[in-house]
Chains A and B, each alone.
Chain A
Amino acid sequence: MSAGIELDDVCCDFGSFRAVDHVNVSIQPGEFFSFLGPSGCGKTTILRMISGFTDPSAGMIRIGGKDMKGQRPNQRPTALIFQNLALFPLMPIWENIAFGLEVRGVAKAERRAKAEELLRLVDLPDAADKMVSQLSGGQKQRVAIARALAVEPSVMLLDEPLSALDLKLRQHMRAELRAIQKRTGVTFIYITHDQGEALAMSDRVGVMSQGRLQQVANPRDIYNNPTNGFVASFVGENNIFTGTVGSEAAGFARFETPHGAFRARANVQGGRDLKLYVRPEHTLISAVPGLENSLPVTVTDVAFEGNFISVHAVSQSGATLLAELRNDGSVAIPAPGDALHMSFAAENASILPDGLVRGE
């Protein structure tokens, strides 16, 4: 059983401060949806509104089509996994997991059986009688998931549950979470400030900044077709040029910058400041000028990163640029001081407005 969630023009004010600003999104039943954004952008506030701990100042939240206004946290079909897990340290693991069942008046033997079943699901079959303090970080993580699953929620809300874990364990738990989600079919709403995590795990990602939802799309579109400058620069690296848009035709526009005139994809409704964004892996290096959007540069630094090599360069007009070369031997690796040309294809560059700001 899983339910969809709709946030309909939801706002949340703390005093005069607007933490969540006119958020609209519709999350499908069974979807793995991530909210991605920097610290303080309002992600936790959104989760708390969905689970019922904070009331929206305006707008409507529907779960499974039902308006949640006035429903207290213990009446909603959601289960929240807290940023710090919030396991009960004075109960053994199995009672932690079975707490939601205890609340629902399930008999003790049945609770125990269900807890053990869930412990097998999260791959901790022997932990039933241990105490929380005896578990490692990753194991606590899994107990928290099991505890939330025990109440058979329609929606699981996860608030940066992996942020406290080390890299290896985090990667392992990502796969595990994803697998559990697929197995149970429950709608997962996942919060993170780690773009890699969001892109790797989610069906769709909502990128947030300053309390505003900047873009909702599948991971590929978030990375390849960001709709504004905030999304482009929060998710991945960019070479950024400021300038003014010139004539526009068939989705491409001329972009005048102090470093020359470029051509790039544009889909601009005007109003905001515009910048040109191009990814380092789409920035090409050559000894002779490229076919289009080319500028002569001097290499300032070359950093070997393992699977790729970053080349930092500065153009004659003073623009700093970054290109990433794949470490597959297909291109000669430049050295600092080399005079070369950097260029990019128009279809790999986008002219984008700045991100939405709070209160606009």
Chain B
Amino acid sequence: MSELLRRYGPTLTGAFVLLTAFWLLMLVILPNVTLFEASFRPYLPVTEVGGPKDFYSFGNYMKFFANSTDTDIFGFNLPVPIHVKIFFGTIYFSTLVTFITFVIAYPLAFYLAKVVTPKSLPTLFLLLFVPMWVSEVLRSFAWWLILAYKGPLNAVLQGVGILDAPVRWISGYRAIIIGLVYTYVLFMVFPIYNAIQSLDTNQIEAAQDLGSPWWRTHWRVILPHAKPGIASGSVIVFMLAAGSLLVPALLGSPTSLWFTQTIQQWMLEAQDWNTGAAYAFLFLILCTCFVSLVMWLFKVQLTDIAK
């Protein structure tokens, strides 16, 4: 703060602080507080707002547990509320997406950080970034075209002889997973790239020199060093994937349901912003709990991620 004052003088510093405060208060805190407050109130016609029926309750939150359907869980037929089922589906597939992005991103990040000559690095970065200049909508739509039943992917795979018959890619969660992985893979690549890049190459060579095969060098030296990067990449990708609305909406099928779509239904289709808000907060809290649990399981500290 004093550094800021010294460098920019009181007027500019004041302006910075005011702008930041405005942004935080008006655009972040206020809307969230309003939604949070609304989430505890029932959805009422305008005339009854503020009337005797308008009191705080957990009613909106309890809707999460309504409408049980029989679901097959490990061979048992149990009644599970439909929204809970969608929630766990979203968590499960987001985790899967996170895992797949990691599997793709780690070798790529390692290649960029330790194998490529520094001269060709800018070109490769450019190639990675170019697709990001196209908007997410267009990219998802492009995938929709690629994955179509009579689309180019099936044509190519059949042409090469890998497939005998075309595959219905856009069914279940398949296309969503592909779309989400494609959309968010860079958010995994860069934290891991940064982490691996900061590893002294001599350590990799020292491991090799002591006789270590490549996989053990990765397992014992490079992966542990990259753990904070992997953790932050995973948290980002998981949260983005779970919170994505566009990709599930565009690449989803009738049998796929994403939790954000449920929130959207409450808010836009049912016009019930109160329940929508309750669902949104519930989702945020549960996702945060899930992420914290996984971080605890993998012994990752929050301070590691901030690095």
With the chains together, A134 CA to B209 CA distance in Å? 24
Q: Least Cβ distance of A152 to chain B in Å?
A: 11
B225 touches A151 (CB 8 A): no
Chain B interface, >50% SS class: helix
Bitwise interface map of A from 92 to 109 toward B, beta carbon under 8 Å scored 1, else 0: 000000011011100000
Whether B203 and A86, one on each chain, are in contact in the complex, defined by CB atoms closer than 8 angstroms, is yes
State whether A73 and B209 are in contact (beta carbons under 8 Å apart), knowing that A86-B203, A103-B216 are contacts in the complex: yes
B70 within 8 A of A: no
Most buried by B among A88, A91, A150: A88
In Å, the complex CA distance between A17 and B216 comes to: 35
Given the interface pairs A88-B221, A103-B216, the reply to whether A73 lies near B202 with Cβ below 8 Å is no
Which one of A74, A78, A79, A84 contacts B202 once the chains associate, using CB atoms below 8 Å? A84
Interface presence of B212 (CB below 8 A): yes
Given contacts A82-B202, A88-B203, A90-B225, contact A74 B209 (CB under 8 A): yes
Residues facing B in A50-83 (CB within 8 A) are: 51, 53, 72-75, 78-80, 82-83
CB proximity of B106 to chain A, nearest CB, Å: 17
Which of chain A's residues have a CB closer than 8 A to the CB of B210?
Answer: 74, 79, 99-100, 103, 147-148, 150-151
Q: Are the CB atoms of B209 and A51 closer together than 8 Å?
A: yes
- CB contacts (< 8 Å) of B225 on chain A: these are 90
Which of B206, B208, B220, B224 counts the most chain A CB atoms within 10 A?
B206
**Would you call B211 and A74 a contact (CB within 8 A)?**
yes
Q: By the criterion CB–CB under 8 Å, are B208 and A90 in contact?
A: no
B161 at the interface (CB under 8 A from A): no
Count B-side interface residues using an 8 Å CB cutoff. 17
* B3: interface (CB < 8 Å): no
> In the assembled complex, which residues on chain A have CB atoms less than 8 Å from the CB atom of B206?
80, 82, 86-88
Q: Which residues of A contact B202 (CB under 8 A)?
A: 82-84, 86
Measured in the bound complex, the distance between the Cα atoms of B75 and A195 in whole Å is 77
| Chain A residues numbered 145-172 whose CB sits less than 8 Å from any CB in chain B | 147-148, 150-151
Question: Is B104's beta carbon under 8 Å from chain A?
Answer: no
B45 interfacial contact with A, CB 8 Å: no
Interface: B164 (CB within 8 A): no
Chain A residues bordering chain B, tally (CB within 8 A): 26
- B48 close to chain A: CB less than 8 A: no
A79 to B212, CA, bound (A): 12
Please tell me which one of the listed residues A73, A75, A86, A151 contacts residue B200 in the complex, with CB atoms under 8 A apart.
Answer: A86
A73:B205 contact, CB within 8 angstroms: yes
How distant is B164 from chain A, measured CB to nearest CB, in Å? 42
Cβ of B122 under 8 Å from chain A = no
B196 to chain A, nearest CB (A): 14
Query: Do A84 and B205 touch across chains, with their CB atoms under 8 A apart?
Result: no
Proximity string of chain B (203-237) to chain A, C-beta cutoff 8 Å, 1 when within and 0 when not = 10111111111001000110011000000000000
Q: How far in angstroms is the closest Cβ of chain A from B166?
A: 45
8 cross-chain pairs, A with B, having the tightest CB-CB distances, nearest first: A86-B202, A100-B210, A86-B206, A103-B211, A73-B208, A74-B211, A82-B202, A80-B209
Taking Cβ atoms with an 8 Å cutoff, the residues of A that contact B are 51, 53, 72-75, 78-80, 82-84, 86-88, 90-91, 99-100, 102-104, 147-148, 150-151
Task: Name 23 A/B residue pairs within 8 A (Cβ), A-sorted.
Answer: A53-B209, A73-B208, A74-B211, A74-B213, A75-B211, A80-B206, A82-B206, A83-B202, A86-B203, A86-B205, A88-B206, A88-B207, A88-B221, A90-B224, A90-B225, A99-B210, A99-B220, A102-B216, A103-B210, A103-B211, A103-B212, A104-B211, A150-B210
- Using a CB–CB cutoff of 8 Å, the interface residues on chain B facing chain A are 200, 202-203, 205-213, 216, 220-221, 224-225
